[in-house]
Amino acid sequence: MSAEDLENYETDMELQLYREYRDVISLFSYVVETERRFYLANHVDLQARSADGEVYFDLTLQDAWVWDVYRTARFVKSVRVITFKDVNVEELPKVEDLGLPKDGGLGAAGLGG
């Protein structure tokens, strides 16, 4: 396998992962970013803890999806993450909160008139 073949394979895998993410994001309530991974989840429990003067984060996710190109099973029932870096948790808007038309159409605004 050439370097170009490997690069094309990795690019294709990332594109497949993005498409899966796009297809499943509406199933989840939260986006969670750590220094190593990106998760979608429906329940997030984040606890700041300290030991020996060091602060760390104990993160538990339920009903989650993991952004990882090398995982064969990205849907997981429960995930526990311990990290010493910051954790970003954002609540995703519900589809009905986005103000989109119920029929999914763009109306006249989307047609340039």
* Residue 84 CA to its chain's centroid (Å): 20
In a domain, 105, yes or no: no
What is the model's pTM?
Answer: 0.75
The rounded distance, in Å, linking the Cα atoms of 67 and 36 is 10
Q: Is residue 93 part of a domain?
A: no
- Tracing tokens 């969670």 back to the chain, one arrives at 32
Q: State mean pLDDT over 88-110.
A: 65
Total structural domains within the chain = 1
Residue 101 banded pLDDT, cuts 50, 70, 90: low
Contact assessment for residue 29 and residue 39, using Cβ atoms and an 8 Å cutoff: no
Is residue 51 included in any domain, yes or no?
A: yes
Q: Is residue 29 part of a domain?
A: yes
Query: Which of 50-54, 63-67, 88-92, 109-113 has the weakest average pLDDT?
Result: 109-113
Asked if residue 95 is part of any domain, the answer here is no
Closest CA to 21 of 31, 36, 6, 10: 31
Q: pLDDT per residue over 21-35, tens digit each?
A: 999 999 999 999 999
Range of the domain at 71: 3-88
**Domain assignment of residue 26, yes or no:** yes
